[in-house]
Amino acid sequence: MPWSIAGDGVQLAVRVTPRGGRDQVAGLWRDAAGRCYLAVKVAAAPADGAANDAVRALLAKRLGLARGDVALVHGATSREKRFRLAGDPAALAKKLAELGQAE
């Protein structure tokens, strides 16, 4: 799974496709090394943080979190990013499992 429990929240690995049409979660994705990511497509271009902001908004909406509870911690200029999700780790893990399977 592309997430791990980290203190009072969850760290989530995300693979972003900017200019990918409509904003959506596109399931799970593995790289050549076997690392797993939640695949996300956003319509925003990767300029001035617009795509990062779109990913934050999409994750917050789909997981029922406030935007302030979703923080980019690594990969500001990369397609592979790591977000910190604040909240109950067990509840977040359950929502992420459902999100990864539903798409």
pLDDT > 60? residue 60: yes
Nearest to 28 by CA among 39, 18, 17, 13: 39
Instruction: Compute CA distances 13 → 40, 72, 76, whole Å.
Output: 10, 10, 13
Within a domain: residue 44? yes
Whether 14 maps to a domain, the answer reads: yes
Token pair in block for residue 58: 């999409």
Residue 97 lies in a domain: no
Identify the pLDDT of residue 37: 92
pLDDT of 102 reads: 53
**Average pLDDT for 73-99:** 91
Q: What is the pTM of this model?
A: 0.88
Domain of residue 64: give its range: 1-68
- Domain membership flag for residue 75: no
- pLDDT, greater one: 12 or 100: 12
Residues facing residue 13 across a β-bridge = 82
- Inside any domain, residue 86: no
